[in-house]
Amino acid sequence: MTGSTGDTRSRIQQVALELFTEQGYEKTSLREIAERLGVTKAALYYHFKSKDDIVDSFVADRINRLDQLIDWAARQPTDAASRRATLRRYAEEFFGNEGQSVMRFFEQNQTVVKQLSSGQMMRDRLLRVADVLAGPDPTPGDQLRATMAIFAVHGSLFALRQPEISLEQRQQLALELAFELLDRVGAPEPGRPTG
Amino acid sequence: MTGSTGDTRSRIQQVALELFTEQGYEKTSLREIAERLGVTKAALYYHFKSKDDIVDSFVADRINRLDQLIDWAARQPTDAASRRATLRRYAEEFFGNEGQSVMRFFEQNQTVVKQLSSGQMMRDRLLRVADVLAGPDPTPGDQLRATMAIFAVHGSLFALRQPEISLEQRQQLALELAFELLDRVGAPEPGRPTG
DNA sequence: GTCTATACTTAGATAGAC
DNA sequence: GTCTATCTAAGTATAGAC
């Protein structure tokens, strides 16, 4: 059954995502991916324009889902409850199904993310979520606060080093901390005009 | 004066750190570094064993300084004031002089950091600072809290996107948020035994 | 002690045969 | 849809000029 055709493209995506996440994008050669699938490098080039293009292919869907989230969030009122709801949705995207594997790839490949077009887009979406969370006309303190709330979700994967902590627990802990940060967005800060 | 000897090694370090940070470690070729200095690739190999070795050379000093910080922090009492003092020292290392340029390199090169030996060491030190901040026998919530406090320092560089915000302001804002997180380490949490 | 010339290996990528 | 062959550029290594 190894020679079954048609799914080669998705098998490439699957193996590539796995290797890119485990050992890094740059450290993973196309030869390695090809060998794992029992084909040659050139075969990969039939299915994808370039190495970058493999990444783009499994990132596009994530971008779309984040765009939907941003649109939805931007239409909510700018209160604490809405910020919580937005972050909760973000966490669900992050921890859910295939979402998590792609997000982990980005977590593991921050450098590459800066160079790749899909990485730029992903980074842009992250900052936009932060912008929505920070609300209109935010103080720098609010900006930092909103961004760190998002990063609490990401950080729950590597900051909690006991492997026995489940993904559900990580998500729960991340949200608790993120809510604590978000609930004080717009609150008086040192150096902020009180009026 | 281009041929002035002796400082070639440090000029390599300087140019390499600059290019690695700007465009990423993998995207920067040795040829590019060599050309910028008006020498050949082989000349680099006289001064450094490998590309990795260039990174190691300017990271070693940072590791030492972080080790000193960790030793000092571990000898402090485990109260909120000491945690603040530890994080303040961390921020000073992060924002200070050459400290910042190397830290920025790591910020920009998270993937590489996982593969390089010096990167592993640096990552290890970060987590150790988080361990000290989280205190003895920490809850997962405390672990996440401590790690995010450190990341507030890092995040102040990219989360605050107005370039006119000075480094001093970033440091100040990062500390305010980090202190808010740290002051609640050890405090009662949902799901934590109160006794 | 400092560097150049040269060459080796492997990477990503392309053209064309089957 | 996949393979063979080949290209360019990367990191690496060494012999030897000065």
pLDDT of A101 over the 60 cut = yes
- Strand segments (E) across B127-166: none
Tens digit of pLDDT for each residue in A57-71? 988 989 999 999 999
What class is the B8-47 domain? Answer: mainly alpha
Lowest mean pLDDT among B2-11, B73-82, B144-153: B2-11
Q: Distances in Å between the alpha carbon of A193 and those of A187, B83, B162?
A: 11, 29, 19
Q: Å from B172 (CA) to C13 (C1')?
A: 48
* Domain residue limits, chain B: 8-47, 52-182
The answer to whether the CB atoms of A110 and B114 lie below 8 A apart is no
DSSP string, A18-81: HHHHHH-TTTS-HHHHHHHHTS-HHHHHHH-SSHHHHHHHHHHHHHHHHHHHHHHHHTS-SSHH
Q: How many residues can be counted in chain B?
A: 195
Q: Å from B63 (CA) to C11 (C1')?
A: 32
More confident residue, A192 or A12: A12
Taking the C-alpha atoms of residue A122 and residue A113, their distance in angstroms, rounded to an integer, is: 8
Residue among A129, A125, A138 at smallest CA distance from A89: A129
Interfacial A residues in 117-176 facing B (CB < 8 Å): 127, 130, 140-141, 143-145, 147-148, 151-152, 155-156, 159-162, 165, 169, 173-174, 176
Q: Which of A25, A105, A143 to mutate to test the interface with B (most CBs of B within 10 A)?
A: A143
Angle at A79 between CA A76 and CA A82, to 5 degrees: 50
Taking the C-alpha atoms of residue B179 and residue B146, their distance in angstroms, rounded to an integer, is: 10
Q: B86 touching A, CB under 8 A?
A: no
Inter-chain contacts counted by CB atoms under 8 A, chains A and B: 106
Confidence of residue B3 (pLDDT cuts 50, 70, 90): very low
Q: Å from A26 (CA) to C8 (C1')?
A: 22
B20 alpha carbon, distance to own chain's centre: 15
A115, A159, A181: residue with CB nearest B143 = A159
CA neighbours within 13 Å on the CB side: how many for B195? 0
Asked whether residue A100, judged by its CB, lies under 7 Å from any atom of the DNA or RNA strand D, the reply is: no
Confidence of residue B182 (pLDDT cuts 50, 70, 90): very high
Confidence of residue A169 (pLDDT cuts 50, 70, 90): very high
Tens digit of pLDDT for each residue in B33-55? 999 999 999 999 999 999 999 99
| Amino acid identity for residue A30 in this structure | L
Lowest mean pLDDT among A63-72, A75-84, A90-99, B144-153: A90-99
A25, A147, A190: residue with CB nearest B111 = A25
Cβ contacts (< 8 Å) between B142 and chain A: which residues? Answer: none
Lowest mean pLDDT among A128-132, B25-29, B100-104, B124-128: B100-104
Please report the sign of the dihedral spanned by the C-alpha atoms of residue A107, residue A111, residue A112, residue A117: positive
A111, A115, A155: residue with CB nearest B144 = A155
Helices (H) then strands (E): counts for chain A: 10, 0
Chain C positions with any atom < 7 A from a protein CB: 2-7, 10-16
Q: From B162, which residue of chain A is nearest by alpha-carbon distance?
A: A140
Q: What pLDDT is stored for residue B61 in this prediction?
A: 86
Tens digit of pLDDT for each residue in A115-164? 788 888 988 999 999 999 999 999 999 999 999 999 999 999 989 999 99
pLDDT of B195 over the 80 cut = no
A141, A151, A159: residue with CB nearest B155 = A151
Q: Å from A42 (CA) to D6 (C1')?
A: 12
Residue whose tokens read 């090694």: B9
Q: Distances in Å between the alpha carbon of B79 and those of B17, B57, B74?
A: 38, 36, 12
Residue among A129, A133, A62 at smallest CA distance from A100: A62
Of all nucleotides in the shown strands, which has a C1' nearest the CA of B48? D12
Taking the C-alpha atoms of residue B76 and residue B137, their distance in angstroms, rounded to an integer, is: 16
Provide the token pair at A17. 């995502």
DSSP B166: -
Report chain B's mean pLDDT, rounded to a whole number. 90
Q: How crowded is residue A14: how many other Cβ atoms within 10 Å of its Cβ? A: 14
Q: Å from A30 (CA) to D1 (C1')?
A: 18
Confidence of residue A167 (pLDDT cuts 50, 70, 90): very high
Please report the sign of the dihedral spanned by the C-alpha atoms of residue B108, residue A123, residue B26, residue A17: positive
pLDDT of B134 over the 60 cut = yes
| Percent residues over pLDDT 90 in chain A | 72
pLDDT of B115 over the 80 cut = no
Asked whether residue A6, judged by its CB, lies under 7 Å from any atom of the DNA or RNA strand D, the reply is: yes
Asked whether residue B143, judged by its CB, lies under 7 Å from any atom of the DNA or RNA strand C, the reply is: no
